Structure 1
Amino acid sequence: MFSKSCEYGIRAVIFIAQKSLNEERTSLKAITQEIDSPVAFTAKILQQLAKAKIITSIKGPNGGFEIAKEDIDSIKLSEIVNALDGDNIYKGCGLGLKVCSSKEPCPVHDKFTTIRSELRKMLETTSLFELATSLETGLTYLRR
C-alpha cells in the first residue's frame, strides 16, 4: 500500500517522536537499527522529512533528529505520507491499471473507493503523539 520509503519514513518519525517526548535527539544509526532499515536510504528519507518540516535535523557532535515536543500531537500520519508518497495513495487504481474511473472501473473500483476513503480518514485523524506513546508503553513495536 505504501512505498518502502514511506514505510521506513513512518517508522522513523514514530521513533524520533518517542525519543523527542523524552527530550532526546536520536542519530541516523540509532534510527536505522531500531527500524531495521538501510542507512543511505533512510538518510535520504529523513532529508525529505526535514525539508517538509516534519522533523528537525541538528548537525554537530550533539546533533541528531528531533521533533519539537509541542508539535508531536499536531502532526498527523497523513502529513508524513504526503511528504514521502504524495497523494497517490488516494488516487491510484486498486489493481494498478493506468485507466480506472467510475466511467471505466476495474473489478475492485467501487470496493477500493470505500477502502481509500477509510484510509484517508485514518491517516488524517491519527496523531504522531498517539503512535509514539503506544510505542513508549510497549503496546506497539517498530520491528519484529
Structure 2
Amino acid sequence: MSEYERTRTMPAQPEQVFDQAANVAQLDAWLPDELHVRAAEPPAVTVHEDHPDQDTAALLRAERDQMRIEWGTREQGSYAGWLQVAGIGGGASEVTVHLSFFEDSHDPGERAACAALDDSLRRLEEQVRMRVDNPAG
C-alpha cells in the first residue's frame, strides 16, 4: 500500500473552498486532466481515465459539516482518497488531499502522485480565487 499527501493554503474561507471542491459538476476543473467524473446516483460516480481509456465505478461523499470529501473505487477497492478543508484564520484555509493505493498496479509512484496532487491543489486554488473574486460567476 502506498500513501501520498499534500497541503496548500488558500486565501478564502473554508466554506468557499469546500463548496468549490465538492461541486461534482466542476470537479474536472481541478482534478488531474486525465480524470473526468460523471455523477450517477449519489454517492455513486463514474471516473473516466483518459489513459487507458476506461471507466471505473467509484463513490464520492462530501460532508460539509466536517469540511471533508472522501472517494474511492467501488468494486475493486484499488484506491481511496480524501480532501480536508480547515480554517486557519484571517480569511484563509488549509486544504489537505490524501491518496491511498491498495494495489501496486494502480500506484503511479511518488513523483507522479505528488505532482498530480500539487497540480490539483493549484487548480483548485485558481477555481476558488475566481469564485471569491467574482461571486456572481
- TM value normalised by structure 2: 0.31
Higher strand share: 2
Larger radius of gyration: 1
TM-score for both structures, normalised by structure 1 = 0.30
